[in-house]
Amino acid sequence: MRSLIDIQELSVEEINDLVKCAEDIIANPAKYSEMCKGKKLATLFFEPSTRTRLSFEAAMYELGGNVLSVSSAASSSAAKGESVADTAKTISSYADIIAMRHPKEGAPLVAAMNATIPVINAGDGGHNHPTQTLADILTIHCEKGRLDNMTIGLCGDLKFGRTVHSLISAMSRYENVKFYLISPDELKVPSYVKKDILKKNNVEYVQTSDLEGSISELDVLYMTRVQKERFFNEEDYLRLKDSYILTPDKLKTAKPDLSILHPLPRVNEIAVAIDDDPRACYFKQVYYGKIMRMSLILKLLEVVK
């Protein structure tokens, strides 16, 4: 029985295999439509979500499986004080696999240690979000035809943005990937990401607050939302929330084949006018997220080897 809590638990070969399986699902959806018949996925979401929860559920339905869902902490026994460990033990009697989102860093790991079925981390606080990274990787692969030899700019809230931490962690393992880490001073990438991932693996990176000055260097631009719910005071959030707004004007010096990604939800970081630009990939990324979750469920349930 295997879980996915941190993207580092997957080797580069395994990530590449998941991408290959995802691309086969796109090419031959009918082949996969009954592969999880009789299996159940439980989505336990103790934090708000539209895409991640519904994409897990859509993924399981498209594999012919079924879904049990807790969509808020308030509607579950967590509100009565039940521990994550007890919840995980309980759900193990009902389902074959769990996808869990929780505001506390490490909660899905605790669930995995107590469940007797695989647990997927669907976002834990400001820490990690490995399945968003799988969606991002499939998007980059489909757009660029490769995962190596590229410069990726990450822009916005790099401190609390869990998708950013997981994406850096995964892409650092591919050859000749460089990063531009673009954020206000207060929202820089946490020091553990720099020390344990970037420096440890000798990955080249530039830390800057200047989006316009960096944009011409980028093959991928990953915009992010300032994570309001992780701030300790509203004043700081209000001061920082509109630090970066990508407008058509700012794209003037960008490469013609730049890929613009965003994990969504978008608040104000990308002008709606950019949605029709062929470089905008964020709604395709939503579709790829569902496909990659299908691929992951198949792998963790050992339906495909």
Interface residues toward ligand NCD, by CB under 6 A: 51-52, 123, 129, 132, 162-163, 225, 263-265
**Residue corresponding to tokens 């521990």:** 83
| Residue 38, Cβ density class (10 Å: 0-12 exposed, 13-18 middle, ≥19 buried) | exposed
Least distance CB 263 / ligand NCD (angstroms): 4
Instruction: Decide whether 3 or 52 has the Cβ nearer to ligand NCD.
Output: 52
Least distance CB 18 / ligand NCD (angstroms): 18
Instruction: Decide whether 255 or 266 has the Cβ nearer to ligand NCD.
Output: 266
Instruction: Decide whether 114 or 133 has the Cβ nearer to ligand NCD.
Output: 133
Three-state SS for 236?
A: helix
SS (H, E, C) 9-25: HCCHHHHHHHHHHHHHH
Least distance CB 268 / ligand NCD (angstroms): 12
The CA distances from residue 247 to 244, 250, 265, 272, in Å, are: 9, 5, 17, 8
Instruction: Decide whether 65 or 263 has the Cβ nearer to ligand NCD.
Output: 263
Contact 152, 219 (CB under 8 A): yes
Least distance CB 28 / ligand NCD (angstroms): 27
Least distance CB 265 / ligand NCD (angstroms): 6
Count CA atoms within 13 Å of residue 226 on its CB side. Answer: 22
Residue partners of 189: CB distance under 8 A and separation at least 6: 154, 158, 159, 164, 165, 168, 181, 183, 207
Instruction: Decide whether 99 or 264 has the Cβ nearer to ligand NCD.
Output: 264
